[in-house]
Amino acid sequence: MTYKPRPPSILARLPWWLLAIVLLFVLGLWLIRTNQGYNTIFKALSGGIITTLWVTGVAFAAATALGLLVALARTSGNRLLRELATFYVEIIRGIPVLVFLFYVAFVGAPALVATLNWLLEPFGGAITIRQFDFAWRAIVALTICYSAFIAEIFRAGIEAVNRGQVEAAWALGLSRRQCFRLVIAPQALRTILPPLGNDFVSMVKDSALVSALGVQDITQLGKVYSSSTFLFFETYNVVAFLYLTMTVSLSLLIRLLEYYLRRERR
């Protein structure tokens, strides 16, 4: 009679790091619900959650679209497009996000307004720099910065597709557009989705940099509240709790997505 080992229990299979995160989350919720000070801080900062998610969502959608165009240019057969796209990626990736944020907000935006005013001058139109909201300046900066990183993700996914399959599609008479839509894109998508999700998590964290422009996100509201009440410890505990809740939830969703993608490949 052969001995069959008993399968490990659910608790034994549960990662300890995940259990520790759940305990931290429960502790944070308990403090917010039972402690009047933490509850007041949470209500003061809750308005910034919508701003943070809105800035991140719009910037990430735009960065994904721009990154795809840059990736297509980098994998193009046209050398001029490849060189321009590579120049764009290398330059943008070499500039810190905060520096680029300031550059777009205080150099790019005024230059754009001045150019538009010059073009609209014959029509009597005039645009002031105040009409270019700081939130949109931050979105433009995050879009340009992250498009360079997302372009590399798309390029890696496209180049991971077996070249023989692409040549077989051309031999069957498919055009380049049909080949990309029917052969390359479905296979590249499985490679692209996990790192693309990780970039979204990174953008949620980097969106805190928009507080440097006075955008009323979680970080900015926390900065204002703590400086007026001097409750720095409690305020930044809540700020960290809110960001951790968003980023850890997204990270777990990405892990679940990777698990299902691995199962489909088997």
Mean pLDDT of 24-35: 90
Six-digit token string for 167:
């040549």
Instruction: Give yes or no for residue 205 having a pLDDT over 60.
Output: yes
pLDDT of residue 64: 93
- The residue among 5 and 191 whose pLDDT is bigger is 191
pLDDT of residue 160: 76
Distance CA 22, CA 42 (A): 19
Mean pLDDT of 118-142: 79
Radius of gyration of the chain (CA): 24
Which tens digits make up the pLDDT trace of 209-238?
898 888 889 999 999 999 998 889 999 999
DSSP 221-240: HHHHHHHHH--HHHHHHHHH
- The residue among 263 and 228 whose pLDDT is bigger is 228
Mean pLDDT of 245-263: 83
% of the chain residues with pLDDT over 70: 89
Six-digit token string for 117:
């005013």
% of the chain residues with pLDDT over 90: 37
Q: Which CATH architecture has domain 47-265?
A: Orthogonal Bundle (1.10)
Instruction: Give yes or no for residue 6 having a pLDDT over 80.
Output: no
Mean pLDDT of 92-113: 89
User: Of the ranges 111-125, 135-149, 152-166, which is most confident?
Assistant: 135-149
pLDDT of residue 2: 56
CA proximity to 206, closest of 250, 254, 142, 149:
142
Instruction: Give yes or no for residue 4 having a pLDDT over 70.
Output: no
Q: What is the mean pLDDT of the chain?
A: 84
List % helix, strand, coil for the chain (3-state, nearest 5): 85, 0, 15
CA proximity to 64, closest of 200, 255, 187:
200
DSSP 159-226: HHS-HHHHHHHHHTT--HHHHIIIIIHHHHHHHHHHHHHHHHHHHHHHGGGGGGGT--SHHHHHHHHH
Which tens digits make up the pLDDT trace of 164-181?
777 677 777 777 777 777
**How sure is the predictor about 58, in pLDDT bands with cuts at 50, 70 and 90?**
very high
Q: Are 59 and 142 in contact (CB under 8 A)?
A: yes
* Domain residue spans of the chain: 47-265
CB-based contacts of 265: which residues, under 8 Å, 6+ apart?
190
